Chains A and B, each alone.
Chain A
């Protein structure tokens, strides 16, 4: 697993308080990991901070799963 994926997973685990093995490629933050809408905003903020990138709102809306987040950040970072 790439470094970026590890760092994203760490943020998700810490923020949502879920088990690491639940954070799979297709795990949806809201449907599978119990995030509410505010959590998803906070996750995006945490990603921005961790990776020093800007994630605009329309892009943030497309980040629904762990895999989406890793893919977006890989392209942006």
Chain B
């Protein structure tokens, strides 16, 4: 089950905890992967660890021209582009009262606008091939909200609306568009939280632990697989029961 042999996947934010796990899992299921991110060194290290079928394509998602070029470069490097995992994201947390326009805009740009551009950039090839998988990594915060993250939550909720609309637009071409909404996952992003914050969050998780990046990656493998061909416009919540949506 879940054989991705012959499929080519572009994963953004592949230098991060969840993105790296997703890239590893897709690769382990047979896919060729293009690893994108801002920092080249960790991408190279991951590509070296994966061996064959791994390409490194650094990209600054705040640069529109670089974002436009990325799907083309990925298709060129891999021969095709069948799976897009929009995983990259940043946080610029602040209470809205104190949030600057720049903190708002940079999160919207990187976590929503860049995703839209990448979706747009991969569509042509997928529509022609009559097969495609777009997986947008959202967040529990996009559905449930979180104080201090008005910008991040807005971008992540926006990603859900984007995914549903695009899913409806391209369904007739056998291209599916879905979201994964992770809850509280062990990554460098959540390592920044204080122990007190972590304890507070864990109290809201029925499974009473943080998620592993591999548990998000497993959801991505499923949504990328031929077996998920009838799933589109959906959001798969992987959050330990933190919010049952």
**Interface residue ranges, A against B (CB under 8 Å):** 36, 38, 42, 45
A42 with B127: CB separation less than 8 A: yes
Closest residue of chain B to A42 (Cβ to Cβ) is B127
B124 with A36: CB separation less than 8 A: no
A45 with B124: CB separation less than 8 A: yes
Number of interface residues of B (CB under 8 A): 6
Closest residue of chain B to A45 (Cβ to Cβ) is B124
Can you report 8 residue pairs joining A to B where beta carbons are below 8 Å apart? A36-B172, A38-B127, A38-B169, A38-B170, A38-B172, A38-B173, A42-B127, A45-B124
Nearest-neighbour CB distance to chain A for B216, whole angstroms, equals 31
Residues of chain B within 8 A (CB-CB) of A38 are: 127, 169-170, 172-173
Cα(A45)–Cα(B173), bound, Å = 15
Closest residue of chain B to A37 (Cβ to Cβ) is B169
Within 8 A of A (CB), among B160-179: 169-170, 172-173
Q: Is the interface of B mostly helix, strand, loop or mixed?
A: helix
Nearest-neighbour CB distance to chain A for B157, whole angstroms, equals 26
Q: Is the interface of A mostly helix, strand, loop or mixed?
A: helix
Nearest-neighbour CB distance to chain A for B224, whole angstroms, equals 23
Residues of chain A within 8 A (CB-CB) of B169 are: 38
Residues of chain A within 8 A (CB-CB) of B127 are: 38, 42
Closest residue of chain A to B127 (Cβ to Cβ) is A42
Cα(A38)–Cα(B170), bound, Å = 8
Residues of chain A within 8 A (CB-CB) of B173 are: 38
Residues of chain B within 8 A (CB-CB) of A36 are: 172
Closest residue of chain B to A39 (Cβ to Cβ) is B172
Nearest-neighbour CB distance to chain A for B176, whole angstroms, equals 15
Nearest-neighbour CB distance to chain A for B128, whole angstroms, equals 8
Taking A36-B172, A38-B127 as given, write out 6 further A-B residue pairs in contact, using a Cβ cutoff of 8 Å, ordered by the A residue number. A38-B169, A38-B170, A38-B172, A38-B173, A42-B127, A45-B124
Residues of chain A within 8 A (CB-CB) of B172 are: 36, 38
Nearest-neighbour CB distance to chain A for B188, whole angstroms, equals 40
Closest residue of chain A to B172 (Cβ to Cβ) is A38
Give a binary string over B164-205; 1 marks a CB under 8 Å from any A CB, 0 the rest.
Answer: 000001101100000000000000000000000000000000
Residues of chain B within 8 A (CB-CB) of A45 are: 124
Closest residue of chain A to B124 (Cβ to Cβ) is A45
Most chain B CB inside 10 Å of its own CB: which residue of A36, A38, A42, A45: A38
The 8 A-B residue pairs whose C-beta atoms are closest, nearest first, are A45-B124, A38-B172, A42-B127, A38-B169, A38-B173, A38-B170, A36-B172, A38-B127
Nearest-neighbour CB distance to chain B for A14, whole angstroms, equals 12
Cα(A42)–Cα(B127), bound, Å = 8
Cα(A36)–Cα(B172), bound, Å = 10
Cα(A8)–Cα(B104), bound, Å = 47
Nearest-neighbour CB distance to chain A for B174, whole angstroms, equals 12
